[in-house]
Chains A and B, each alone.
Chain A
């Protein structure tokens, strides 16, 4: 079994009186596509927001195991540092591109920290000092590479906001990949895609995994989930319900109950049978 990249341990998130996530634990392994599924309001996006630093969890731990041995506690770390140090990248449920900037610029912004390691270097670049030119050229090359992979090279100079919906989804993934992540977190990447686009997306995600980047995705499209996932985690009402391979999950009575809204697992067993 592959090494564990990220372990989420009894993660809890409370908003006022609402317990959105209650002691959820799971692991993300290197080289896996891990899917996080569950009905609406199960707390999936909240888990994402905790992992990527947008929320500070009320309790629990999120540990990133880095290849050089050092473990990193992500809970409570500011979002930008999680991307910089822990190499976690994400996309958003309602796409968040820089709509007024071109496709290429979107990918260049993603490489900000590579091209401009610190403010002083950034300011020196005004006078043409430092190796800025070299870094910028390398960044453009990487952007080109990802534009090729998501099939947007032809539209590199168009404003991101003018792209059709499916292309915007792919661009957001390419942009996240430009930060060289170890884990790519995708929040409903297949939402609103037509079947052909869904297939392309599946292929893209599998190729990203095969390149060595773990993928953690929230998805409602069970076709996509079951086809590409190596590992599935089910949440319901903020609690972990099941954890296993797609085949195991498909057969899990609790999961079926949660999805069909039945109270008694025994009844479900009858229905399924």
Chain B
């Protein structure tokens, strides 16, 4: 029981991070219908930017943790947003309205480039960061097994929920959100109505990248170690989460993220750590066989 509770806590924390990345996938997929393969690598860049910022702030003598974290968050999200915008501008916009597979290959190229860019610029070694938010509190103890809820896990949950709340408000209540949803429905018509489609799509990438960078920061804080390769695995998991939840659906992305996080945590806890990825992917395949558009995806009636 105690062990299960601990896995639940760990799974939710991991799921929150996946969910944050998945939102970027799902938004981009919803609006231009492409898998933004480079998104996982933007997450990785975000983690590196956070590492740089935290180290730099440390060297400058800013050691008050909340302030340092806040500044890092702003910095990483801001620069990553610039990455998101530039990637869209350089690699995807010229291919808008082109054939389906061209942007996908372009995205894969971008992903390879970003990965190797980080390797060249920041080195191939694992970078470790000392724990910034140590401690936590004991929930209860059972037969000598202590169920821990760390402050870090609380921070991750609070930040994720706050950001997702903000983001949901943005998409449902603001004119930018309305423009995004209009583009999703019919891009040509939206542009005829005088909405700058390019700007809307660019902003979608900006938001997605900023959220991915926050996820990168949280990942760095939680695991304390990053390298240039983390983007691929996290990206694939987050995309799996987005598909599992139903691409295009925001709550779906979060639920999918939580599902993947929980599957991994419980499988690692009770079966084998090595096969946790197999478990996550198998669940994806099984879910899609029975619900071909994911958990919350609209079951589209085929137009004949």
Contact = CB atoms under 8 A, between A and B. Distances in A.
Is A in direct contact with B (CB under 8 Å) within the complex?
Answer: yes
Interface string B285-304: 00000000000000001101
Interface string A118-139: 0000000000000000000000
* Chain B facing A: main interface SS: loop
Contacts of B302: 54
B28 to A, nearest CB: 28
A103 to B, nearest CB: 23
A49 interface: yes
A83 interface: no
B304 A15 contact: no
A54 B302 CA distance: 8
Nearest to B303: A94
A54 B301 CA distance: 10
A45 B304 contact: yes
A92 B303 CA distance: 11
B184 to A, nearest CB: 21
Interface string A29-45: 00000000000000001
B276 to A, nearest CB: 38
A92 B302 CA distance: 13
A15 B301 CA distance: 9
A154 B301 CA distance: 39
A50 B229 CA distance: 51
Interface in B248-304: 301-302, 304
A99 to B, nearest CB: 14
Contacts of B301: 15
Contacts of A49: 304
Interface residues of B, number: 3
Nearest to A54: B304
Nearest to B299: A16
Contacts of A45: 304
Interface in A91-109: 92
Contacts of A54: 302, 304
A186 B79 CA distance: 57
Nearest to B301: A15
Nearest to A52: B304
Nearest to B304: A54
Interface string B119-154: 000000000000000000000000000000000000
Nearest to B302: A54
A49 B301 CA distance: 12
Contacts of B304: 45, 49, 54, 92
Interface string B4-41: 00000000000000000000000000000000000000
B46 to A, nearest CB: 41
B166 to A, nearest CB: 33
Nearest to A79: B304
Contacts of A15: 301
A52 B239 CA distance: 36
A29 to B, nearest CB: 25
A51 to B, nearest CB: 12
Nearest to A92: B304
Interface string A50-62: 0000100000000
A92 B301 CA distance: 16
Contacts of A92: 304
Nearest to A93: B304
A185 to B, nearest CB: 12
A92 B304 CA distance: 7
A54 B304 CA distance: 8
Interface in B43-90: none
B298 to A, nearest CB: 12
B29 to A, nearest CB: 25
A83 B298 CA distance: 29
A45 B301 CA distance: 14
A165 B101 CA distance: 28
A49 B304 CA distance: 8
A80 to B, nearest CB: 14
A237 B121 CA distance: 66
A15 B302 CA distance: 12
B17 to A, nearest CB: 36
Interface in B215-272: none
Interface in A64-122: 92
A143 B301 CA distance: 33
A45 B302 CA distance: 13
A49 B303 CA distance: 10
Interface string A218-229: 000000000000
Q: Which 4 A-B pairs have the closest CB atoms?
A: A54-B304, A49-B304, A92-B304, A15-B301
6 contacts: A15-B301, A45-B304, A49-B304, A54-B302, A54-B304, A92-B304
Interface of A: 15, 45, 49, 54, 92
